[in-house]
Amino acid sequence: MPFPEIDPIAFAIGPIVIRWYALAYLAGIFLGVGYGMLLLKRKSLWVKGTPPMTPDELFDFTFWIVIGIIIGGRLGYVFFYDPLNFLANPASIIALWDGGMSFHGGMLGLMVAMIVYLWRKGANILSGLDLLACCATIGLFLGRVANFINAELYGSVTTMPWGVIFPGGGDLPRHPSQLYEGLLEGVVLFLVIRFFTHNLLALRKPGLVAGIFGIGYAASRIFVEFFRLPDSHIGYLAFDWLTMGMVLSLPILVGGIGLVAWSQSRRHA
């Protein structure tokens, strides 16, 4: 099928250009915060009826969420995906308008911000990471939809009926791998986590939901990487199938398994 005619620019006010990608980031953050506030209000979901913060504290923490995602995402892309280019042109590191953000780096930046905040507050850090896991899937879904609108990060050539002929991707249909990721990492993982938090009361075991997120995200990302083309300046790392995305997802998978095992081994009130 042909690529839908969607302008990556949502609207412009004079010289100021607002792109769907930026709006997806903002919507993901604020919708995630809104969902997190709803979870925090339901104290019965949390261990000992004590959530890691209040809804108002989470709203105030939104600024640090934005900072953590932007700095972590950009530095993650710089160090993981194109270090030599940025080393030769260090001024380009701050050129966010040229693109280049890493989910793995953004997640790390967000986790660091949350850990520091809760450590200074004396709250349960693992419960804070569980909260992030509940909300992150919303941003993941919107971010991948924005990647599709930008006609970037598409997949290999396919004969499947839903293959898309992307601008810049040649005349042959390709896997819409952005939508695969959005479906798995966003919609499916959100529903799985929602089942665990509300039906199995998983938030009463700090670290369990964060572990489930880590396993679900890593497994989904590794699976989709088999259909998604790697960055052209990196290519495949080995075997004509191993990608940087797979390598960066492996520690998340191991960490997720570790958190699930840890949470299950502890006794909670």
Other C-beta atoms closer than 10 Å to the C-beta of 141 total 24
Name the binding residues. Answer: 144
Residue 153 has pLDDT above 60, yes or no: yes
Average pLDDT for the chain: 90
Minimal CA–CA distance to 48: which of 159, 205, 199, 187?
205
Minimal CA–CA distance to 150: which of 172, 170, 179?
179
- At residue 119, the pLDDT reads 92
Q: Which residue has the tokens 């695969």?
A: 180
Residue 269 has pLDDT above 60, yes or no: no
For 156, the token pair is 């290999």
Percent of the chain with pLDDT over 70: 94
